[in-house]
Structure 1
Amino acid sequence: MAHSKSSFQSFARLFSYTKKHRRDFYLGSLFSFLNKAFDIAPEILIGIAIDVVANQEKSFLARWGVEEPGHQLILLSVLTLLIWMCESLFEYLLLLKWRGLAQSLQHEFRTEAYDHLQRLDMSFFEDRSTGGLVSILNDDINQLERFLNGGMNSLIQVFTSVILIGAVFFALAPSIAIFAFLPIPVILWGAFYFQKRAAPLYLDVREKAGQIGSRLANNISGMATIRSFTSEQIESKKVANDSMTYLQSNKEAIKVSSAFNPLIRMAVLMGFIATFIMGGQMALRGELNVGFYGVLVFLTQRLLWPLTGLADTVDLFERAMASADRVLDLIKTPVNLESTKAVRDFDHTKGIEFSHLDFAYSNGVQVLKDINIRVPAGKTVAIVGPTGSGKSTVTKLLLGFYKPSSGKILFGGQDTADCDPQDLRSQIGLVSQDVFLFHGSIYENIAYGSPGASRDAVLEAARKAHAMEFIEKLPEGLDTLIGERGQKLSGGQRQRISIARVILKNPPVLILDEATSAVDNETEAVIQASLAEATKGRTTIVIAHRLSTVTQADNIYVVAQGGVVESGTHQELLQNRKMYFQLWTAPL
């Protein structure tokens, strides 16, 4: 279980982070205070009304110049009307302000957290589940919204009640006030005690929620695999186990928070009994105005009874602060490789050069050792080798997804370490074996990297990618919806759409990473034709396991165990009769 901060530290952190909403926060607090102040006032008026009925011309109001009892009651009625109007007004204003603030912060947190997530290094995603990150962006931010919608107002109004009612008590009967307020330290101690015990439990609840979210997201994405292996029961058990873990975690937190309520109720009862008995005795002895006695009895309930709801508010507060920490931790995760840098002028006549390149993952596993590869401008260079040799890692370094351990990459005459990653990637088109298409139309997917592209330009790109052959047969043509990840299309069709997307982008450099490894021979022939169109006039790097796809490359580099073991044209490498020859002649 992760280390947790005090929830009050978490709140201070949240408050500090929302500086531009400070005015809204203060106004919301003021409206909550005034609403509670006017909410308490009718109890005082009831006591004054009792005093008018009991003492008439000798009542409290008579001392202020309104001697006739009937006029006193009319005055009280008018005051009651005004107070109720003010209470309603400030209730409207506080709801408007707090709910508006909750919605604004929810929107800002979600968009800022997502924008930040997009800039984090690819290594960040290696150790984290998609479901866990979705849980932070969705569930945790919603939890914060729920607290700001109602919990913040509840906290302010509880403390407002203590301050204002305390002032009335000490003004009317200081001796009773002391006994009436004795339960409050017990209640506050209970709140702090349970808060301290509940904070780590609720952080654990949020983490367990992320785990089950991750499980569900993965299983829904992999439903075809689950069914093909008839693993439905196994996965159901795993989901049930995760759900049970979440349930147990919640039970522990609820067990602690539930014990708080009975403690408050008993403390409230003691305070009420003290006021009821001591005030009654004073009123019987004539030491306390009977109307004021009524005020004290009513206000004791108004003071102490709302504190019974403090347990639920503290529970909501704990959940929200655990969520706030998770959201802010994500936003505060440092960005390394994706930091913005000055725009560079790339001279694409200079090609690409990988010089003495080494790379190891953060866990220390060495992937590349002293890689030296040159890609002349306008030429096609292939990188081949056995599975796991590190060939795809070369292109990930070029795209700036990772930072080399040593060595450098020159791209268009510029050291990529000095380039803005987005500026760099704008010059590169990537076609990989793992095609990712978005839920939407074929048109939207082809135009994805080229916002504002005309329909004619999209059609032309689709023709060059040999995609119109199947697009024209679809009922809606380019406007056909293809489902999540393009699941309504075949692998070859998805690949041709991704090639059309790159052709439309029209980058000077192209990377083909195992672009035909997952298709049959017939489909491969079509895709090869579309790739030939895509590579015209472009500097191209081809990553391939299937050697038949690279025979026409201007130069081929063979990578094994993280290093370049030989290079040359297809014919030269066959004549060398080394690793490339072995790979070429190996049985399929």
Structure 2
Amino acid sequence: MTLFKVLSYGKGFKGQAIWASICSVVNKLFDIAPEILIGIAIDVVINQEDSFVAALGITDPKQQLYLLGVMTFLIWAGESIFQYLYLRNWRELAQKIQHRFRVDCYGHIQKMDMRFFEDQSTGRLTAILNDDVNQLERFLNIGANDILQVVTSVVAVGAVFFLISTKLALLAFTPIPVIIFGAFYFQRKAEPRYAEVREKAGQIAAAINTNIAGVATIKSFTKEDHEQQRIADISQQYVAANESAIRISSAFTPVIRMAILTGFLATFIIGGLDTLNGELAVGAYGVLVFLTQRLLWPFRDLANTMDLYERGMASARRILGLLDEPIRIKDHHQAADTVLSGSINLRDITFTYESQSKPALQDINLTIKAGETVAFVGQTGSGKSTIIKLLMRYYHAQNGQINLDGRSIEDISITTLRSQIGLVSQSTFLFNASIYDNIRYGNDNASETQVREAAQLAEADDFIARLDQGYQTLVGEQGVKLSGGQIQRIALARALLKNPPILILDEATSAVDNETEAAIQKSLKKIAAGRTIILIAHRLSTVVHADQIHVLDHGQIVESGTHSKLLQLQGRYQQLWHIQTGQV
């Protein structure tokens, strides 16, 4: 059951949960007590020296009332104190559990392989981490306490009822099975509707996130009105889903009210007749009438509690579903930390993306020596970037073996592997922070001097120095305040600061001008010293100095050699070279 899974998730806070529950129970007992005191007060006024309190040794009616006044004050004070305690503890507990859910979900997402992200929208994941976790927190904050206090009311009031009159107790309790049955009935009806509400919320978040990220494209095509209408349509679907759920939850309250009325009238009329017939004391009758409300009226709010419950459980199922997603790429028990020198061997590698029918790579065999500069070239979709994804262990090859320094890539811990590979990809991501912080992201322990040296190697120091705030310039979300070339140079500096034995440049100079590219090429000679460089490029001028160039076509290596050797072969590489140099 989803609720039990949620509660078991808070086992680390068991002590606080028990204390919060005790405070709720005590608060509810104090809350019920004034109704009992009212009945006793009526008994004192009517029977005076023969009252219930007189049997305790206090015969003066005035003294009896003073005693009841003191008890009333103490009960109200106790109720207030324990209300403060249960509110504070339940809210703190809800915050702690939602914090754990959010952090664990985010941690789990970070461990997922890239295949998982291909099938997920950013908006859906964001909605789970924010909206769903917050919705669950609202239930834990309010609903859990409400359920506990309803149970306490039923038990405590029921005990008083049966102590005073078994007949009236049975009549007063008659509506409760109807109420409980109705609660479960409406809960089953509402469950799929609230699941749809959460899905629609995720769709809204996905659409808004996408549109904000692509606002430049929307403006360039003057699609503002179109996109506003699209968001309005999705939002209307969310409204419709909520209305469907609300229709069910709203119908619950009138049904409960009629069931409550039945129990109240039974106590009110039959208890009154028994009192007139002398079978029930006036004070006891007053206690039962007042307690009937305390017994049944809390069920009136059960509709709101069930609404919170269903919304919370719909969110919990999405959260737990995310946490149950299997991590396909992870370290096995023999994976170890190792220092890499940079030699790479791919043997009989074949890999097919799940969304495709044809292999992205087929029968790839190659060896890269430590310290070599190797390039992969070919048309879009030829498999160049897929090799990098396999080296980074974003995916696992279905067939074949990848070895680094003679060791299977699967025997090297993922953290160790990726910490020793510097990757500058075509789709570079910068954080909404300063240039300095974005570069230093590659090495948290780097000094300011090392950051500047990395920027100089990446040919970024000059343009940074021309900015008003220099290295403290904020780049905006995804580097929106910088040009494409500036973003790539900062990304290159970040990778160089990492000082990895293997450096991968995946179209890293595609967005820079020719002058900057030439400067970066010159820097590569310094960068390449003592490390393996892997270049992926469409622009062949980037790779002419590579020790080895591999030409890929439809997932296979069709040619290999140096720039001059490949031109002499008069094959695929020569065709690409002639196209780019205008010799066709």
TM-score (norm 1): 0.96
**In the alignment, which residue of structure 2 is the partner of 1:6?**
none
| Superposition pairs of residues 143-542 of structure 1, within 5 angstroms | 143-339=135-331, 342-348=335-341, 351-363=343-355, 365=357, 366-542=359-535
**In the alignment, which residue of structure 2 is the partner of 1:3?**
none
Aligned residue among 105, 122, 128 for 1:113: 105
Q: Partner of 1:387: helix, strand, or coil?
A: coil
1:514-538 CA distance string (max 9 Å, x none): 1122333344334434444433332
1:386-428 CA distance string (max 9 Å, x none): 1111110001000000001111111122110221111101111
Aligned residue among 115, 119, 130 for 1:123: 115
Q: Partner of 1:516: helix, strand, or coil?
A: coil
How far apart are the structure 1 equivalents of 2:499 and 2:346? 23
How far apart are the structure 2 equivalents of 1:52 and 1:527? 97
How far apart are the structure 2 equivalents of 1:502 and 1:389? 25
How far apart are the structure 2 equivalents of 1:99 and 1:490? 46
Q: Partner of 1:39: helix, strand, or coil?
A: helix
Q: Partner of 2:141: helix, strand, or coil?
A: helix
**1:340: how far off?**
6.2
How far apart are the structure 2 equivalents of 1:575 and 1:276? 105
- Letter matched to residue 154 of structure 1: D
- Contact 2:340–2:420 (CA<8 Å) still a contact in 1? no
- With over 3 angstroms needed to count, the CA separation of the structure-2 counterparts of 1:296 and 1:110, relative to structure 1, is same
**In the alignment, which residue of structure 2 is the partner of 1:100?**
92
1:585 aligns with 2:578: yes
How far apart are the structure 1 equivalents of 2:205 and 2:470? 36
Q: Partner of 1:565: helix, strand, or coil?
A: strand
How far apart are the structure 1 equivalents of 2:107 and 2:114? 14
**In the alignment, which residue of structure 1 is the partner of 2:74?**
82
Q: Partner of 1:109: helix, strand, or coil?
A: helix
**1:482: how far off?**
1.1
Is 438-447 or 413-422 further displaced after alignment? 413-422
- Contact 2:31–2:79 (CA<8 Å) still a contact in 1? yes
1:535-564 CA distance string (max 9 Å, x none): 333211111111111111111111101111
- Letter matched to residue 131 of structure 1: G
TM-score (norm 2): 0.97
How far apart are the structure 1 equivalents of 2:493 and 2:356? 38
- Contact 1:154–1:313 (CA<8 Å) still a contact in 2? yes
- Letter matched to residue 396 of structure 2: K
Q: Partner of 1:404: helix, strand, or coil?
A: coil
Identity of aligned residues (%): 55
- With over 3 angstroms needed to count, the CA separation of the structure-2 counterparts of 1:452 and 1:120, relative to structure 1, is same
Q: Partner of 2:466: helix, strand, or coil?
A: coil
Is 177-186 or 130-139 further displaced after alignment? 177-186
- Contact 2:9–2:97 (CA<8 Å) still a contact in 1? no
- Letter matched to residue 393 of structure 1: T
1:67 aligns with 2:59: yes
How far apart are the structure 2 equivalents of 1:253 and 1:436? 40
1:9-51 CA distance string (max 9 Å, x none): 1101112222222222222111111110110000000000011
**1:364: how far off?**
5.1
1:490-537 CA distance string (max 9 Å, x none): 111111111111121111111010112233334433443444443333
How far apart are the structure 2 equivalents of 1:371 and 1:528? 28
Q: Partner of 2:341: helix, strand, or coil?
A: coil
- Letter matched to residue 161 of structure 2: F
- Letter matched to residue 384 of structure 1: V
**1:432: how far off?**
1.3
How far apart are the structure 2 equivalents of 1:529 and 1:133? 43
**In the alignment, which residue of structure 2 is the partner of 1:565?**
558
**In the alignment, which residue of structure 2 is the partner of 1:4?**
none
Q: Partner of 2:345: helix, strand, or coil?
A: strand
- Contact 2:345–2:367 (CA<8 Å) still a contact in 1? yes
How far apart are the structure 2 equivalents of 1:222 and 1:381? 35
Q: Partner of 1:586: helix, strand, or coil?
A: helix
- Letter matched to residue 176 of structure 2: I
- Contact 1:373–1:557 (CA<8 Å) still a contact in 2? no
CA RMSD of aligned residues (A): 1.4
- With over 3 angstroms needed to count, the CA separation of the structure-2 counterparts of 1:347 and 1:317, relative to structure 1, is closer
Q: Partner of 1:381: helix, strand, or coil?
A: strand
**1:347: how far off?**
4.8
How far apart are the structure 2 equivalents of 1:344 and 1:103? 37
- Contact 2:347–2:366 (CA<8 Å) still a contact in 1? yes
**1:441: how far off?**
0.6
- Contact 1:140–1:323 (CA<8 Å) still a contact in 2? yes
**1:463: how far off?**
1.6
How far apart are the structure 1 equivalents of 2:209 and 2:439? 26
- With over 3 angstroms needed to count, the CA separation of the structure-2 counterparts of 1:322 and 1:437, relative to structure 1, is same
Number of residue pairs the alignment of both structures matches:
579
